[in-house]
Structure 1
Amino acid sequence: MTDPIPTERKRVWTTPANVALCAEADIADPGSRGFVLQIRDAFFHGFVVRKDGEVAGWVDRCPHMGFPVAVVPDRYLTPDGRVILCGWHGAVFDPIGGKCVGGPCAGARLTPWPVAVVDGIIRSA
């Protein structure tokens, strides 16, 4: 008996609004957290960054090569929390604005994932 051939999971790039993700306090400031949401038969991969009292959401896909940004789950920021670091090719991004400020895709931007804090809960917007 042979093992079944794995199939690639379908991806989607947006989410429905008002999906509760986590409490704002669950993410350090500065800090980040990744999320995978199943939407029907497909999956959305995104992450949320909290920095200086602001919260921003991003599709977990580097504009340079299309790989996920983090190599290690939930580790999107540099150790000092100043910038988002793509662990694959070293691109660095502004955590709130999403613009690449250094590396192979300088000037490009992460794809926004609209999120909002409502009554202390981070939700998709």
Structure 2
Amino acid sequence: MSDTPAPTERKRVWVTPPNVALCAEADIADPGSRGFVLQIGEAFFHGFVVRKDGQVAGYVDRCPHQGFPLAIDLDQYLIPDGSLILCGWHGAVFEPLSGACVGGPCAGARLTPWPVEARDGLIRTA
């Protein structure tokens, strides 16, 4: 029996305040993606940003199929050619700019949008 206390689950939030600078637009390849964890008070928000065709889109990092984060490897949300977002756990695939699931166990569902924008060379929450 260990004297180490069991870990407690961190509180989660599903929205972020506007105008939080996340990174330089150039920090994410086109096409590319990057995950973010923001501490808001005592809770944490998990999201990711996709950059494709000069546009950015943000999503809550939670698959609609079973609620798991999508990426198995850090920042690896897209398939190798950058054309789709992949849930690495169960193989669901999503359109990068709309979040629509186009294949896999949650076909017809959508990722939860996270409002972000590219402005003045920075990606920020909107």
How many angstroms does 1:118 deviate by? 1.4
Q: Percent identity?
A: 78
CA distance in 2 between partners of 1:15 and 1:37 (Å) = 8
Cα RMSD of the aligned pairs, angstroms, is 0.7
Normalised to the residue count of structure 2, the TM-score between the two structures is: 0.98
How many pairs were matched up? 125
**Counterpart amino acid of 2:52?**
K
**Counterpart amino acid of 1:98?**
G
Q: Which aligned runs of 4 or more in structure 1 are off by greater than 6 angstroms?
A: none
**Counterpart amino acid of 1:31?**
G
5 Å matches for 1:6-17? 6-17=7-18
Equivalent position of 1:52 in the other structure: 53
Aligned partner of residue 117 in structure 1, secondary structure: strand
CA distance in 1 between partners of 2:75 and 2:4 (Å) = 31
Equivalent position of 2:88 in the other structure: 87
CA distance in 2 between partners of 1:20 and 1:59 (Å) = 17
5 Å matches for 1:1-125? 2-125=3-126
How many angstroms does 1:111 deviate by? 0.1
* Cα deviations by residue, 1:8-29 (Å, 9 ceiling, x for unpaired): 0000000000000000000000
Normalised to the residue count of structure 1, the TM-score between the two structures is: 0.99
* Cα deviations by residue, 1:41-87 (Å, 9 ceiling, x for unpaired): 00000000000111000000000000001011100000010000000
* Cα deviations by residue, 1:93-124 (Å, 9 ceiling, x for unpaired): 00000000000000000000000111010000
CA distance in 2 between partners of 1:116 and 1:52 (Å) = 14
How many angstroms does 1:4 deviate by? 1.4
Specify every segment of 5 or more residues in structure 1 that has no aligned partner in the other structure, as ranges. none
CA distance in 2 between partners of 1:116 and 1:30 (Å) = 16
